[in-house]
Structure 1
């Protein structure tokens, strides 16, 4: 009887662990591929027309368990030395739900 309970408990643990890995890593994107996603999409435009500089800021995640980085508009502006924003784009990349990158790209002057 103890052996049967141990087997059931082990099977429940393995199942719960397996389900925790399946599809748990979302990355903001207008479209998503199950195996691979790599998209670039527009987010915002202003009335400023001059776009002589570009700044990029990114964040990364592994298995949806650990996430690092600063993909904020402020970080992207600082990276490009931008004071007046012309437009903002984003990129999203996801490989098998294992590794993902999300970047904010700011253009302006």
Structure 2
């Protein structure tokens, strides 16, 4: 007589739990900004990198995005942010990070200046 596996057996529960732990470790923060504190479920923060204290009149952004940590695209360089804001002299540099469930992550460089 062939015994059917029941979903409630101890062996099945052990395999299921170990599989979930392994998958969690493997896919944890698949898409990550890589800066600041990392939130496994959600992350949205702004981090100051450089500040001169001088007044600013212009602001420029440049961003890079990542999907599942498999595809990453964009230019989040300081030079690109400076160009986008038409800034001649940088007085402040900040990073904005966003991450949702490791599915989508975005890193933006924000330059301020005159």
| Secondary structure class of the residue paired with 1:77 | helix
Q: Distance in 1 between matches of 2:28 and 2:113?
A: 40
Residue 40 of structure 2 corresponds to which residue in structure 1? 34
RMSD: 2.0
Please state how far the C-alpha of 1:20 moved relative to its aligned partner.
4.4
4+ residue runs of structure 1 moved beyond 2 angstroms? 18-26
Q: Distance in 2 between matches of 1:95 and 1:74?
A: 27
Asked if the contact 1:62–1:98 (Cα under 8 Å) also holds between the matched residues in 2, the reply is yes
2:30 is aligned, of 24, 43, 55, to 24
1:18-72 per-position Cα deviation (integer Å, ceiling 9, x unaligned): 464333333123212110000011001236x131000000000000000000000
5+ unaligned residues in a row in structure 1: which ranges? 1-14
The structure with the largest alpha-carbon Rg is 2
- Counterparts of 1:66-105 in structure 2 under 5 Å? 66-105=71-110
TM-score calculated relative to the size of structure 1: 0.77
